[in-house]
Amino acid sequence: MNMFQKPKIAVIGAGMIGGNLAYMAAKKGLGDIVLFDIVEGLPQGKALDILETTPIEKINSNLIGTNNYEDIKDADVIIITAGIPRKPGMSRDDLLSTNAKIMAQVAENVKRYAPNSYVIVISNPLDAMVYLFYKISGFHKNRVMGMAGILDASRFRAFIALETGISVESISAFVLGGHGDSMVPLPRYSYVGGVPLPHFPGMTSEKIESIVERTRKGGGEIVALLKTGSAFYAPAASAMAMTESIIRDQKKVFPAAVYCEGEYGYNDLFIGLPAVFGGNGMEKIIEIELEPNEKEALDKSAAAVESLKENLKTLNFIT
Protein backbone atom coordinates (compact mmCIF):
# COMPACT_ATOMS: atom_id res chain seq x y z
CA MET A 1 0.00 0.00 0.00
CA ASN A 2 1.28 3.45 -0.92
CA MET A 3 2.01 5.40 2.27
CA PHE A 4 1.41 8.70 0.47
CA GLN A 5 -2.20 8.05 -0.49
CA LYS A 6 -5.24 6.66 1.20
CA PRO A 7 -5.87 2.94 0.89
CA LYS A 8 -8.61 1.86 -1.50
CA ILE A 9 -11.23 -0.61 -0.27
CA ALA A 10 -13.63 -2.27 -2.70
CA VAL A 11 -16.78 -4.01 -1.49
CA ILE A 12 -18.29 -6.47 -3.97
CA GLY A 13 -22.00 -6.76 -3.29
CA ALA A 14 -24.06 -3.80 -2.05
CA GLY A 15 -26.60 -5.73 -0.01
CA MET A 16 -27.08 -5.41 3.73
CA ILE A 17 -23.58 -6.62 4.61
CA GLY A 18 -21.99 -4.60 1.80
CA GLY A 19 -23.71 -1.36 2.78
CA ASN A 20 -22.68 -1.79 6.40
CA LEU A 21 -19.12 -2.58 5.38
CA ALA A 22 -18.86 0.60 3.35
CA TYR A 23 -20.21 2.67 6.23
CA MET A 24 -17.93 1.03 8.80
CA ALA A 25 -14.84 1.46 6.62
CA ALA A 26 -15.65 5.13 6.12
CA LYS A 27 -16.36 5.74 9.80
CA LYS A 28 -13.07 4.10 10.80
CA GLY A 29 -11.23 6.28 8.27
CA LEU A 30 -9.61 3.27 6.62
CA GLY A 31 -9.52 4.79 3.14
CA ASP A 32 -11.60 5.51 0.06
CA ILE A 33 -14.39 3.08 -0.70
CA VAL A 34 -15.85 1.61 -3.89
CA LEU A 35 -19.18 -0.18 -3.52
CA PHE A 36 -19.91 -2.51 -6.46
CA ASP A 37 -23.06 -4.38 -7.41
CA ILE A 38 -24.62 -5.65 -10.63
CA VAL A 39 -27.97 -4.05 -9.71
CA GLU A 40 -28.13 -0.61 -11.28
CA GLY A 41 -28.65 2.19 -8.81
CA LEU A 42 -28.20 0.08 -5.65
CA PRO A 43 -24.50 0.73 -4.99
CA GLN A 44 -24.79 4.32 -6.21
CA GLY A 45 -27.67 5.03 -3.86
CA LYS A 46 -26.02 3.46 -0.82
CA ALA A 47 -22.69 5.17 -1.50
CA LEU A 48 -24.42 8.53 -1.85
CA ASP A 49 -26.37 7.96 1.36
CA ILE A 50 -23.16 7.16 3.26
CA LEU A 51 -21.38 10.11 1.64
CA GLU A 52 -24.08 12.38 3.01
CA THR A 53 -23.25 11.22 6.55
CA THR A 54 -19.62 12.31 6.21
CA PRO A 55 -20.11 15.96 7.28
CA ILE A 56 -22.00 14.83 10.39
CA GLU A 57 -19.60 12.02 11.26
CA LYS A 58 -16.51 14.07 10.32
CA ILE A 59 -15.47 11.40 7.82
CA ASN A 60 -12.90 12.22 5.12
CA SER A 61 -13.33 9.12 2.97
CA ASN A 62 -14.50 9.33 -0.62
CA LEU A 63 -17.23 6.88 -1.65
CA ILE A 64 -18.52 5.82 -5.04
CA GLY A 65 -21.10 3.25 -6.11
CA THR A 66 -20.63 1.46 -9.40
CA ASN A 67 -21.81 -1.32 -11.70
CA ASN A 68 -18.44 -1.37 -13.49
CA TYR A 69 -15.74 -3.77 -12.29
CA GLU A 70 -13.10 -1.46 -13.73
CA ASP A 71 -13.73 0.92 -10.81
CA ILE A 72 -12.17 -1.59 -8.36
CA LYS A 73 -8.86 -1.16 -10.20
CA ASP A 74 -5.83 -1.23 -7.89
CA ALA A 75 -7.88 -1.71 -4.71
CA ASP A 76 -5.75 -2.58 -1.68
CA VAL A 77 -8.41 -4.68 0.05
CA ILE A 78 -11.45 -6.29 -1.55
CA ILE A 79 -14.30 -7.69 0.53
CA ILE A 80 -16.64 -10.05 -1.29
CA THR A 81 -20.21 -10.36 -0.04
CA ALA A 82 -21.82 -11.15 -3.41
CA GLY A 83 -24.32 -13.99 -3.46
CA ILE A 84 -27.80 -14.86 -2.31
CA PRO A 85 -28.49 -15.01 1.46
CA ARG A 86 -30.02 -17.89 3.32
CA LYS A 87 -33.74 -18.18 3.91
CA PRO A 88 -35.46 -20.09 6.72
CA GLY A 89 -34.87 -23.83 6.42
CA MET A 90 -31.76 -23.42 4.26
CA SER A 91 -28.25 -24.34 5.30
CA ARG A 92 -25.22 -22.40 4.09
CA ASP A 93 -24.37 -25.39 1.91
CA ASP A 94 -27.68 -25.08 0.04
CA LEU A 95 -26.29 -21.92 -1.58
CA LEU A 96 -23.32 -23.67 -3.20
CA SER A 97 -24.25 -23.85 -6.90
CA THR A 98 -25.81 -20.39 -7.22
CA ASN A 99 -23.13 -18.56 -5.28
CA ALA A 100 -20.30 -20.48 -6.97
CA LYS A 101 -21.40 -19.06 -10.34
CA ILE A 102 -21.31 -15.56 -8.86
CA MET A 103 -17.95 -16.11 -7.15
CA ALA A 104 -16.34 -17.41 -10.33
CA GLN A 105 -17.26 -14.20 -12.14
CA VAL A 106 -16.09 -12.03 -9.25
CA ALA A 107 -12.75 -13.86 -9.06
CA GLU A 108 -12.04 -13.34 -12.76
CA ASN A 109 -12.68 -9.60 -12.46
CA VAL A 110 -10.67 -9.15 -9.27
CA LYS A 111 -7.80 -11.02 -10.92
CA ARG A 112 -8.04 -8.69 -13.90
CA TYR A 113 -8.42 -5.33 -12.17
CA ALA A 114 -6.87 -5.71 -8.70
CA PRO A 115 -4.21 -8.47 -8.90
CA ASN A 116 -2.30 -7.13 -5.90
CA SER A 117 -5.25 -6.85 -3.53
CA TYR A 118 -5.88 -8.67 -0.27
CA VAL A 119 -9.23 -10.44 -0.50
CA ILE A 120 -11.66 -11.25 2.30
CA VAL A 121 -14.55 -13.54 1.34
CA ILE A 122 -17.84 -13.48 3.26
CA SER A 123 -20.13 -15.22 0.74
CA ASN A 124 -21.60 -18.58 1.79
CA PRO A 125 -20.88 -21.43 1.94
CA LEU A 126 -17.82 -19.61 3.17
CA ASP A 127 -15.10 -22.26 3.15
CA ALA A 128 -16.02 -23.42 -0.35
CA MET A 129 -16.35 -19.89 -1.75
CA VAL A 130 -12.96 -18.74 -0.49
CA TYR A 131 -11.39 -21.92 -1.91
CA LEU A 132 -13.06 -21.28 -5.28
CA PHE A 133 -11.79 -17.69 -5.33
CA TYR A 134 -8.28 -18.89 -4.47
CA LYS A 135 -8.27 -21.44 -7.28
CA ILE A 136 -9.65 -19.15 -9.98
CA SER A 137 -7.62 -16.06 -9.05
CA GLY A 138 -4.30 -17.83 -8.57
CA PHE A 139 -3.51 -15.40 -5.74
CA HIS A 140 -0.93 -16.35 -3.12
CA LYS A 141 -2.43 -17.84 0.04
CA ASN A 142 -1.51 -14.79 2.15
CA ARG A 143 -3.80 -12.64 -0.05
CA VAL A 144 -6.96 -14.75 0.25
CA MET A 145 -8.91 -15.39 3.44
CA GLY A 146 -12.44 -16.01 4.62
CA MET A 147 -14.31 -14.22 7.36
CA ALA A 148 -15.88 -16.86 9.58
CA GLY A 149 -14.17 -17.57 12.88
CA ILE A 150 -14.27 -13.95 14.03
CA LEU A 151 -18.04 -13.91 13.63
CA ASP A 152 -18.50 -17.32 15.25
CA ALA A 153 -16.21 -16.36 18.14
CA SER A 154 -18.04 -13.05 18.57
CA ARG A 155 -21.33 -14.92 18.86
CA PHE A 156 -19.72 -17.30 21.35
CA ARG A 157 -18.45 -14.35 23.41
CA ALA A 158 -21.83 -12.61 23.30
CA PHE A 159 -23.64 -15.73 24.51
CA ILE A 160 -21.07 -16.27 27.29
CA ALA A 161 -21.62 -12.66 28.38
CA LEU A 162 -25.39 -13.17 28.46
CA GLU A 163 -24.97 -16.28 30.63
CA THR A 164 -22.37 -14.88 33.05
CA GLY A 165 -23.35 -11.21 33.20
CA ILE A 166 -19.72 -10.28 32.56
CA SER A 167 -18.73 -7.60 30.03
CA VAL A 168 -17.88 -8.91 26.57
CA GLU A 169 -14.65 -6.92 26.85
CA SER A 170 -13.51 -9.36 29.56
CA ILE A 171 -14.37 -12.41 27.47
CA SER A 172 -12.22 -14.06 24.80
CA ALA A 173 -13.10 -17.12 22.77
CA PHE A 174 -11.93 -19.33 19.92
CA VAL A 175 -14.11 -21.05 17.34
CA LEU A 176 -12.31 -23.15 14.74
CA GLY A 177 -13.36 -25.28 11.78
CA GLY A 178 -15.76 -24.71 8.92
CA HIS A 179 -18.34 -21.96 9.00
CA GLY A 180 -21.32 -24.25 9.46
CA ASP A 181 -23.04 -26.53 11.93
CA SER A 182 -19.81 -28.54 12.33
CA MET A 183 -17.82 -25.53 13.62
CA VAL A 184 -15.74 -26.17 16.73
CA PRO A 185 -16.13 -23.72 19.64
CA LEU A 186 -13.29 -24.33 22.12
CA PRO A 187 -14.39 -23.71 25.74
CA ARG A 188 -10.92 -24.71 27.00
CA TYR A 189 -9.41 -21.80 25.04
CA SER A 190 -12.18 -19.36 26.02
CA TYR A 191 -11.75 -17.09 29.02
CA VAL A 192 -13.87 -14.92 31.31
CA GLY A 193 -11.66 -12.32 32.98
CA GLY A 194 -8.67 -14.59 32.41
CA VAL A 195 -10.42 -17.63 33.92
CA PRO A 196 -10.89 -20.60 31.55
CA LEU A 197 -14.60 -20.96 30.81
CA PRO A 198 -14.89 -24.51 32.27
CA HIS A 199 -13.49 -23.20 35.59
CA PHE A 200 -15.61 -20.04 35.84
CA PRO A 201 -17.97 -20.15 38.87
CA GLY A 202 -21.39 -21.52 38.02
CA MET A 203 -20.42 -22.53 34.51
CA THR A 204 -21.52 -26.17 34.37
CA SER A 205 -20.80 -28.53 31.49
CA GLU A 206 -24.52 -28.39 30.60
CA LYS A 207 -24.47 -24.59 30.39
CA ILE A 208 -21.31 -24.64 28.30
CA GLU A 209 -22.79 -27.19 25.89
CA SER A 210 -25.93 -25.06 25.56
CA ILE A 211 -23.82 -22.00 24.68
CA VAL A 212 -21.73 -24.04 22.24
CA GLU A 213 -24.85 -25.33 20.49
CA ARG A 214 -26.36 -21.84 20.27
CA THR A 215 -23.10 -20.61 18.74
CA ARG A 216 -23.18 -23.35 16.09
CA LYS A 217 -26.76 -22.40 15.19
CA GLY A 218 -26.26 -18.64 15.68
CA GLY A 219 -26.64 -17.70 12.04
CA GLY A 220 -29.69 -19.91 11.60
CA GLU A 221 -31.31 -18.36 14.65
CA ILE A 222 -31.12 -14.94 13.01
CA VAL A 223 -32.34 -16.27 9.65
CA ALA A 224 -35.39 -17.78 11.37
CA LEU A 225 -36.16 -14.49 13.10
CA LEU A 226 -35.66 -12.23 10.06
CA LYS A 227 -37.44 -14.62 7.66
CA THR A 228 -36.31 -12.59 4.63
CA GLY A 229 -32.53 -12.68 4.92
CA SER A 230 -29.53 -13.43 7.11
CA ALA A 231 -27.27 -11.59 9.57
CA PHE A 232 -25.49 -8.46 8.40
CA TYR A 233 -24.30 -6.23 11.27
CA ALA A 234 -22.01 -8.78 12.98
CA PRO A 235 -20.65 -10.26 9.71
CA ALA A 236 -19.77 -6.75 8.50
CA ALA A 237 -18.09 -5.86 11.80
CA SER A 238 -16.11 -9.11 11.68
CA ALA A 239 -14.79 -8.53 8.16
CA MET A 240 -14.01 -4.93 9.07
CA ALA A 241 -11.83 -6.09 11.98
CA MET A 242 -9.79 -8.16 9.51
CA THR A 243 -9.61 -5.25 7.05
CA GLU A 244 -8.40 -2.83 9.70
CA SER A 245 -5.73 -5.25 10.94
CA ILE A 246 -4.39 -5.57 7.38
CA ILE A 247 -4.53 -1.90 6.42
CA ARG A 248 -3.06 -0.70 9.73
CA ASP A 249 -0.66 -3.66 10.07
CA GLN A 250 -2.00 -4.42 13.54
CA LYS A 251 -0.77 -8.04 13.65
CA LYS A 252 -3.97 -9.18 15.38
CA VAL A 253 -4.79 -12.85 15.88
CA PHE A 254 -8.20 -13.94 14.64
CA PRO A 255 -9.76 -17.30 13.84
CA ALA A 256 -10.47 -17.16 10.11
CA ALA A 257 -10.70 -19.38 7.04
CA VAL A 258 -7.11 -19.73 5.85
CA TYR A 259 -5.30 -21.99 3.39
CA CYS A 260 -3.59 -25.03 4.90
CA GLU A 261 -0.39 -26.61 3.67
CA GLY A 262 0.13 -29.21 6.37
CA GLU A 263 -1.02 -27.18 9.39
CA TYR A 264 -3.12 -29.30 11.77
CA GLY A 265 -2.64 -32.14 9.27
CA TYR A 266 -4.71 -30.51 6.50
CA ASN A 267 -3.68 -29.77 2.93
CA ASP A 268 -5.24 -27.82 0.04
CA LEU A 269 -8.09 -26.70 2.26
CA PHE A 270 -9.49 -23.44 3.63
CA ILE A 271 -10.72 -23.91 7.18
CA GLY A 272 -11.10 -21.76 10.27
CA LEU A 273 -7.86 -21.60 12.27
CA PRO A 274 -6.15 -18.94 14.40
CA ALA A 275 -3.90 -16.73 12.29
CA VAL A 276 -2.03 -13.43 12.36
CA PHE A 277 -3.33 -10.66 10.08
CA GLY A 278 -1.17 -7.67 9.22
CA GLY A 279 0.25 -5.60 6.41
CA ASN A 280 1.12 -8.74 4.46
CA GLY A 281 -2.36 -10.20 4.77
CA MET A 282 -2.59 -13.62 6.40
CA GLU A 283 0.93 -13.73 7.80
CA LYS A 284 1.00 -16.90 9.90
CA ILE A 285 -1.22 -19.76 11.02
CA ILE A 286 -0.88 -20.43 14.73
CA GLU A 287 -0.94 -24.10 15.70
CA ILE A 288 -2.37 -24.65 19.18
CA GLU A 289 -2.40 -27.90 21.11
CA LEU A 290 -5.70 -29.74 20.85
CA GLU A 291 -6.96 -32.55 23.02
CA PRO A 292 -8.10 -35.73 21.20
CA ASN A 293 -11.80 -34.85 21.36
CA GLU A 294 -11.11 -31.34 20.06
CA LYS A 295 -8.99 -32.62 17.17
CA GLU A 296 -11.65 -35.21 16.37
CA ALA A 297 -14.28 -32.46 16.16
CA LEU A 298 -11.98 -30.34 13.97
CA ASP A 299 -11.31 -33.32 11.69
CA LYS A 300 -15.07 -33.84 11.34
CA SER A 301 -15.50 -30.19 10.41
CA ALA A 302 -12.62 -30.43 7.91
CA ALA A 303 -14.30 -33.46 6.32
CA ALA A 304 -17.49 -31.42 5.86
CA VAL A 305 -15.49 -28.65 4.18
CA GLU A 306 -13.70 -31.22 2.01
CA SER A 307 -17.06 -32.54 0.80
CA LEU A 308 -18.05 -29.03 -0.30
CA LYS A 309 -14.77 -28.78 -2.21
CA GLU A 310 -15.56 -32.08 -3.93
CA ASN A 311 -19.01 -30.73 -4.83
CA LEU A 312 -17.32 -27.80 -6.57
CA LYS A 313 -15.40 -30.32 -8.65
CA THR A 314 -18.57 -32.29 -9.44
CA LEU A 315 -20.22 -29.05 -10.59
CA ASN A 316 -17.14 -28.35 -12.78
CA PHE A 317 -16.20 -25.08 -11.08
CA ILE A 318 -12.71 -26.41 -10.37
CA THR A 319 -10.68 -29.39 -11.60
Q: How many Cβ atoms sit within 10 Å of the Cβ of residue 113?
A: 18
Beta bridge partners of 269: 260
Length of the chain: 319
CA–chain centroid gap for 137, Å, is: 18
Q: How many Cβ atoms sit within 10 Å of the Cβ of residue 315?
A: 12
**Collapsing DSSP states into helix, strand and coil, what is residue 302?**
helix
Tell me whether residue 319 is exposed, middle or buried, using C-beta atoms within 10 angstroms of its C-beta: 0 to 12, 13 to 18, 19 or more.
exposed
* Cβ-contact 181, 152 below 8 angstroms: no
Helices (H), the chain: 16-27, 42-51, 54-57, 96-113, 126-137, 149-164, 205-216, 218-226, 233-247, 292-314
Sign of CA dihedral 121, 125, 126, 129: negative
179 counts as catalytic: yes
Which one from 86, 179, 216, 309 is the annotated catalytic residue? 179
Long-range contacts of 212-220 (CB under 8 A, 24+ apart): 212/156, 212/185, 212/187, 214/155, 214/159, 215/152, 215/155, 215/156, 215/159, 215/175, 215/183, 215/185, 216/181, 216/182, 216/183, 216/185, 217/181, 218/152, 218/155, 218/159, 219/86, 219/92, 220/86, 220/91
Which residues are part of the catalytic machinery? 179
